[in-house]
Amino acid sequence: MRNQLTKKLLGLALGSVAILCVSCGSKPRPAEQAKQSSTVPADVTLTELQRVEPVRFSEPPPQTAPHGRVQVLVDASGSMVGFAASVPTLIRAVSQGFSAINTVYLSVDESRSCYFSKKGGVFSCRPGYSPATPFSASGFTNLDQAVLQAQEFDITVILTDGVPASLGGRGDCSTGVDGPCVARAIHEALAPRPGQPSTAVSGFWVVPVVALYQGKLFTEQRLDPKMFDKPLAQNAVAAETGTNARIGQASVDASGDLQFDYHGPRLAVLLVLASNIEAGRAFVREFYSRAELSAVQVLGGLKEFAQGTALLPPIEVFPGYVPAVEWEKCEPKLDPGTGKRIERGVISRCEVQQGSKLMLGCAKGTNEGQFRLSAQKRAEVGPLVHVLPPFRAKFSNSDSKILRTRIAQWEKFGQSIGLTLGCDPGWSISCSSPARAQWSFLPDYKSAGDSLASSNPVGAPQYVRSLSTTSPATAPHRVFGLAELLESFYRRPHRERELVFATLNLCQSP
C-alpha cells in the first residue's frame, strides 16, 4: 500500500531496493543472540530540517485518467477593478492548461467558470472557461465562500488579489474575510472526500501573476491621506519591479480607509486546489508550458516585469514535493586521511543493478563497511516550483531481523546517502520473506508556518514574503496578506504526509 502511495506522491518508478548479502557465513546463530547484536531502533527520525530547492515536476500520467470536474472562479470585488484588461487573458491561459491535461491526467466531465463577490455570491456561471458576462468589479470579496466551492470540484482555479491580513478578534471570520477565515476554508476544501480511497492526496499551489493595474487601489488601511507618503510607495515599486508606477490623488473610502488611483505593476494570485495530486501538478506544469500561447509571459522574478501579463515561479503549499530519483551507484567511502576504504572485515562489493537493486557481497566473518548510495534525478519538465514545507528524513525499521544496518545520513538531500551496512556470520534471511527498512520524508507544516512568520526567512518562505504585504499604502504592487494567509493555513492541524523515498529489502542470496 505504501509503495502505491509513494508512486502517487512522487512518481517514483523505483519499486523497492533489494540488498542481497552474498556469502555472509554458513551456520545460523541462535535467534536471541542474533537479535541482541543485530537490531537497530524500530523507528528513528532524523530531526534535522531539510529544505528542498526549487524543483520541476516529473510525474508520469496514470494508465487511465480519472474522471472529474474543474472550475475557474474570478474575484469580482472592487480591489480587482484595475485588472480588467488582464482577466480575459488569464482565463484563456487557464483554459489552455485544462485542455492540455484533459484525458491524460484527468478526463474532464464538466467545467464551469464564475465570478464571486460578497454582493453577488458566486454568479455569472456557465459551462466552459469564460463567465456569462463581461468582467466588472465592485464591493467586497467573499473569497472564503469561493474556496469552499472547491469541495465539489476536482480542480479549482481562483483568481484573486489577496485578503485582509488582520489576525485580531475572536473566531475565524471575526474581522470579515481575513487570513484565518480563508485558511479554514482551504483546509476544509482539501479534506478527504467521501468515497475517495485512503491513499488519495489533495494539493494546493499558489501561482503569482503580475500585470499592469489601472484603477482605484483600496488599501484597507486607516490612514489620513495627508500622511500618505506617495514618493515612498512609488520608489518601492520601482525598486522591486522592472517599471514605474503613477499614483494619483489619495482619499478615504466609505469605511474610512485610504484609497488612491494607481497605474502600475501589481501582483495577484491564482489559488489552485486539487483533490487529485497528479492532476493538480500536471495542470500547474501545463499552464506554465502553454502560457505564452495566450500572450502571458513566464518570468523568473518580479524585477523582470515591464509590461503585459506575466507569471512568476509557482509555489507548492501542500502537501510538499521531493524530486523523483533513480539509484545510480553505490561506492565505498574512503578515509580522508589514508584514502583507504572504511570497513571492518571484507565486503567484496556494493553496486547498483538496473537502478533498483543494491547488491552487497560479504566475505566470511564479521563485516562492516561505509558506502555512499547516489541517485540521479528523473527527467523533469515545466517551471521551477518553490516547495514551501521543509522536510525531516526518517529511517524506519519495523523488522528485528535487519542486521547491523545503521541509520542513513543524507549527504545531499534526496540525492546521496551515507550508509553503514554489515553482514554477520550466520545471518540467514530468506529472500522470499526479506527484512525491510524504509526511508521517508515528512513535511513539517509547523516549521513552514514559523518560517513565514520569521523576520529573516530563507528559501521558499523568503520568496513568499517578497510577494506579500500588510501595507498596500507602502507596497501597492504586492499581494495583500499572502504570507499571513499561508501561515494561518499551516497553523491548522494537518494529517502527517509520509513521502516514501526508498524501501530496502534485506536478504541473503542462496
Q: What is the pLDDT of residues 348-368, one digit of tens each?
A: 666 665 545 555 565 666 677
pLDDT for residue 448 = 95
Q: Give residue 238's pLDDT.
A: 96
Instruction: Say if CB 476 and CB 212 are below 8 A apart.
Output: no
For β-strands 416-423 and 121-127, DSSP reports them as unpaired
Percent of the chain with pLDDT over 90: 53
Which of 40-44, 131-135, 506-510 shows the lowest mean pLDDT across its residues? 40-44
What is the pLDDT averaged over residues 381-395? Answer: 88
- Residue 312, pLDDT > 60, answer yes
Q: Is it the case that residue 503 has pLDDT exceeding 70?
A: no
pLDDT for the residue 342: 77
pLDDT of 35 over the 90 cut: no
Q: How confident is the model at residue 140 (pLDDT cuts 50, 70, 90)?
A: confident
The confidence band for 187, taking pLDDT boundaries of 50, 70 and 90, is very high
Question: Of the ranges 117-121, 271-275, 415-419, which one carries the lowest mean pLDDT score?
Answer: 415-419
Percentage of the chain exceeding pLDDT 70: 73
The confidence band for 471, taking pLDDT boundaries of 50, 70 and 90, is very high
Q: Buried (b) or exposed (e) across 334-362, using 16+ Cβ within 10 A?
A: eeeeeeeeebebebeebebeebebbbbbb
Residue 5 has pLDDT above 70, yes or no: no
Beta strand 258-274 with 155-160 is antiparallel
Give the pLDDT mean for 296-324: 94
| Whether the Cβ atoms of residue 126 and residue 107 lie closer than 8 Å to each other | no
pLDDT at 183 over 50: yes
Decide which of 328 and 473 is more confident: 473
Q: How confident is the model at residue 48 (pLDDT cuts 50, 70, 90)?
A: confident
335 vs 40 pLDDT, higher one: 335
Q: In which region does residue 205 sit, left (phi positive, over 0), alpha (psi from -120 to 50) or beta (all else)?
A: beta
Lowest mean pLDDT among 166-180, 194-208, 381-395: 166-180
Query: How much is the pLDDT for 178?
Result: 81
Mean pLDDT of 259-266: 96
Rg, Å, the chain Cα set: 27
Query: For 374-393, what is the mean pLDDT?
Result: 83
**Mean pLDDT score, 120-138:** 94
Whether residue 42 is predicted with pLDDT greater than 50 in this model: the reply is no
Reported pTM? 0.83
User: Has residue 219 got a pLDDT over 70?
Assistant: yes
Q: Supply the pLDDT for residue 405.
A: 52
Q: What is the mean pLDDT of residues 315-332?
A: 83
Domain ranges in the chain are 2-54+323-444+499-508, 67-212+266-312
Alpha helix ranges (H) inside 110-251: 143-148, 179-189, 230-240
Question: Which phi and psi angles does 496 have, rounded to 5°?
Answer: -65, 125
Other CB atoms within 10 Å distance of the CB of residue 497:
17
Average pLDDT in the chain = 80
**Can you tell me whether residue 463 is helix, strand or coil?**
helix
Q: Report residue 394's pLDDT band, with 50, 70 and 90 as the boundaries.
A: confident
For residues 54 and 313, the answer to whether their CB atoms sit within 8 Å is yes
Point out the least confidently predicted range of 79-93, 129-143, 258-272, 330-344.
330-344
18 strand-pairing partners: 357, 505
Predicted confidence (pLDDT) per residue in 416-425, tens digit: 777 676 666 6
pLDDT at 252: 92
- Residue range 310-317: mean pLDDT, rounded: 98
Q: How confident is the model at residue 28 (pLDDT cuts 50, 70, 90)?
A: very low
Q: What is the pLDDT of residue 335?
A: 82
Dihedral, 175, 178, 180, 185 alpha carbons, nearest 10: 120
pLDDT-derived band at 245, boundaries 50, 70, 90: very high
Cell numbers for 271: 489559488
Instruction: Write out 83-150 in H/E/C secondary structure.
Output: HCCCHHHHHHHHHHHHHHHECCCEEEEEEEEEEEECCCEEEEEEECCCCCCCCCCCCCCCHHHHHHHH
Specify the higher pLDDT residue, 297 or 35.
297
Q: Count CB-CB contacts under 10 A for residue 381.
A: 12
How much is the pLDDT for 357?
Answer: 52
> What pLDDT shows up at residue 285?
96
- Read off the pLDDT of each residue in 223-244 and give the average, rounded to a whole number: 94
Q: Give pLDDT tens digits for 79-111.
A: 999 999 999 999 999 999 999 999 999 999 999
